[in-house]
């Protein structure tokens, strides 16, 4: 790396594993090698490098190409709602008996519905379909699920 570099990237997701939080940013595939070279390539084992991250004021050029293409499709020709991995993950998580135990489900008939209401409440949405990739709700969902996984995989349940 000869000089510090700056480039645009889209914030995709965030998740926590134990005492570290991981952030994922996406760049166009055709520029990936160039960007990787500009930051000095992959770090060597044990090597740490610091980076500054600043949010840019969003413009049309900052919008991911997939979203630009979707917005150009006339409403009447718009395809069915795109696949939403968060919606599916929220459905799976709310039906997980261990998750239901973790959210301290009261003695009620429909534990999955209660767990689903906890997820919607924590994410600040009225429906799990509103947990969209790149949204604040998705970030809150990732943090909720990460906290559950840390609890589930902790020493209490046999993991080291």
pLDDT at 125: 93
How many residues are listed for the chain in this entry? 160
- Return averaged pLDDT per consecutive 10 residues of the chain, 160 residues in all: 66 76 78 80 80 75 50 48 80 90 79 91 92 91 91 69
DSSP single-letter state for residue 15: E
Q: Is-above-0.75 flag for pTM?
A: no
CB 5 within 8 A of CB 38: yes
Phi, psi of 26 (to 5 degrees): -115, 140
Domain locations in the chain?
Answer: 10-76, 82-157
CB 115 within 8 A of CB 98: no
């Amino acid at each position: 790396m000869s000089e510090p570099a700056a480039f645009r990237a889209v914030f995709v997701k965030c998740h926590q594993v134990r005492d570290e939080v991981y952030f994922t940013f996406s760049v166009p595939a055709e520029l990936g090698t160039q960007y990787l070279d500009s930051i000095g390539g992959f770090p060597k084992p044990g090597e740490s490098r610091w980076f500054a991250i600043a949010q840019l004021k969003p413009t049309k050029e900052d919008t991911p190409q997939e979203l630009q293409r979707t917005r150009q499709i006339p409403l009447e020709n718009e395809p069915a709602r795109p696949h939403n991995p968060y919606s599916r993950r929220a459905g799976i998580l709310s039906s997980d008996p261990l998750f239901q135990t973790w959210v301290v489900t009261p003695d009620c008939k429909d534990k999955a519905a209660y767990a689903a209401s906890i997820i919607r409440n924590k994410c600040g949405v009225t429906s799990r379909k509103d947990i969209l990739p790149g949204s604040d709700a998705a970030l809150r969902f990732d943090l909720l699920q990460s906290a559950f996984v840390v609890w589930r995989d902790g020493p209490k349940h046999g993991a080291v």
